A and B are shown apart, each in its own frame.
Chain A
């Protein structure tokens, strides 16, 4: 499977490419007062407002630094009820697409953040998969997608 490799801190993580819609440069985000810390702001995707989650922040780290390779990845978030939402993910040092052989994937064996999945080793170290659908805790999901709450 192919993953989009990015970094949280010094470690490499991979977003499954099938859930990535596109990669965008780091845009000017609109701030959202009183929003949770992990919400970097609101972006405008062709006229549609899109909440952006800071992957560094949601992992309990300092906010992402604005490097040239800090990107906003527009991913498909599939809510538990099956609804697909576009969700902006701010990621540091987005390196590119890497192919991870399914046989190399192994469970991490450590119960940590709920969105962290299997790990795969390669020549440069280990890449841990990030499950987009598990990124948002229920409360945050409710805040970001209140319509779903109303419907669900």
Chain B
């Protein structure tokens, strides 16, 4: 039962299905195709299975689908072409945006895209040219900046060296200045000493002249004394010779009286009176002898005193003469010294003036050197600033170069 029922059911179902398929089938196919067309599938075609209305509809549908498909295809082609052109442009522009300026615009034509492409091409050409120029300029700037930096460094070093040198020169000049001042003082002292020496020498010369005069007077006095002594000596000699004569006479008288006394004695009484006379004569002769002896002694003493005096005077006189000679020599020497010293004074003055000028000059040099030093310091500062600026310029140039180098301008 169930099977029979089932078979009926299946048979009914099969009949239904066959009917449905006979009508519903092409409709469904059409409907599907329309649906597909509606959803964009323009390649969809409906199988024309019959020549009935349904088939006609299907044919028309197919025609419409072909038209639609071709129109859509054409539109798609146009769109694709446009997109290709835009893509091409976009690619070049994108590359350019990424820095690659080597891209070529291949889009041409008279349409808007073509004109856009041409404009872009010109713009890129100009940009490339500009970038090339900028790159070249950057390299040049970098090179120049490096050179300038090196030069500035060198200049700075030179400036520092110059500054040191100028400091050294300054200290040397200061030393010279102080030395000159000291020297100046010494020279002033020396000049004072020379002046003093001149006046002292002059005074000494005057004193020596007076001394010379005094000594001359003494020489004259000594000569006079000597002459007097000589006269005295001569007179004493004369007296002496007289005394000698007297002594001889007295002696002979004495002897004579003695002999007379002897003769008188021998004469005995007859010679008595004669004997008295002889005794008297003898006594007188003795007295004369004694007196003469005394005189002679005194005279001798006097003579020896005189000759001692003469000798002393001679010696004194000789000493005075020698002294006079020495004094004259000293006077002459002093004159020479004074001449020299007097000559020295103007020389000292000249030297002094020269030294004063030198001191002033050294002072001026010191001032100039200080100014120079300041200037050099300023120069060094400026050079440091320049160096810094050049460094910055170098950095900037480097930046510029690296920035520009991101742009590739040659294919």
Contacts and interface: CB of A to CB of B under 8 A. Distances in A.
Interface of A: 2, 4, 17-18, 20-25, 68-69, 71, 94, 96-97
B43 to A, nearest CB: 203
A68 B293 contact: yes
Contact of B258 (A18, A68, A96): A96
B114 to A, nearest CB: 182
Contact of B265 (A17, A68, A71, A94): A17
A69 B254 contact: yes
Nearest to A1: B265
B262 A69 contact: no
B116 to A, nearest CB: 178
Contact of A68 (B259, B266, B282, B289): B289
Interface centre among B255, B261, B262, B289 (most CB of A within 10 A): B262
A22 B251 contact: no
B18 interface: no
Nearest to A95: B286
B373 interface: no
A24 B255 contact: yes
Interface centre among B257, B258, B279, B293 (most CB of A within 10 A): B258
30 contacts: A17-B262, A17-B265, A18-B265, A18-B266, A20-B262, A22-B262, A23-B255, A23-B258, A23-B259, A23-B262, A24-B255, A25-B255, A68-B251, A68-B289, A68-B293, A69-B254, A69-B289, A71-B258, A94-B258, A96-B257, A96-B258, A96-B261, A96-B279, A96-B282, A96-B286, A97-B258, A97-B261, A97-B262, A97-B279, A97-B282
B171 interface: no
Nearest to A16: B265
Contacts of B262: 4, 17, 20-23, 97
B247 interface: yes
Interface centre among A2, A69, A71, A97 (most CB of B within 10 A): A97
A23 B255 CA distance: 6
Interface of chain B, helix or strand or loop or mixed? helix
Nearest to B278: A97
A148 B293 CA distance: 44
A118 to B, nearest CB: 19
A30 to B, nearest CB: 21
B268 to A, nearest CB: 11
Interface string B259-273: 101100110000000
A96 B283 CA distance: 9
A2 B254 contact: no
Given A69-B289, A96-B282, A97-B279, A22 B265 contact: no
Report the 9 A-B pairs with minimum CB-CB distance, sorted nearest first: A23-B258, A97-B261, A17-B265, A22-B259, A2-B265, A96-B282, A23-B255, A20-B262, A23-B259
B259 to A, nearest CB: 5
A108 to B, nearest CB: 24
Given A96-B258, A97-B258, A25 B252 contact: yes
Interface string B354-377: 000000000000000000000000
B369 to A, nearest CB: 107
Contacts of A20: 262
B288 to A, nearest CB: 11
Nearest to A17: B265
Contacts of A23: 255, 258-259, 262
Nearest to A26: B251
Contacts of B266: 17-18
Contact of B255 (A2, A18, A71, A97): A71
B261 A25 contact: no
A24 B252 CA distance: 9
A23 B265 CA distance: 14
Given A94-B258, A97-B258, A25 B265 contact: no
Given A18-B266, A24-B255, 9 more contacts: A4-B258, A18-B265, A22-B262, A23-B255, A23-B258, A68-B247, A96-B282, A97-B261, A97-B282
A138 B255 CA distance: 32
A86 B265 CA distance: 19
A23 B285 CA distance: 15
Contacts of B259: 22-23
A28 to B, nearest CB: 15
Contacts of B282: 96-97
Contacts of B247: 68
Nearest to A22: B259
A17 B247 CA distance: 26
Contacts of A68: 247, 251, 289, 293
Contacts of B261: 2, 17, 96-97
Contacts of A24: 255
Contacts of A71: 255, 258
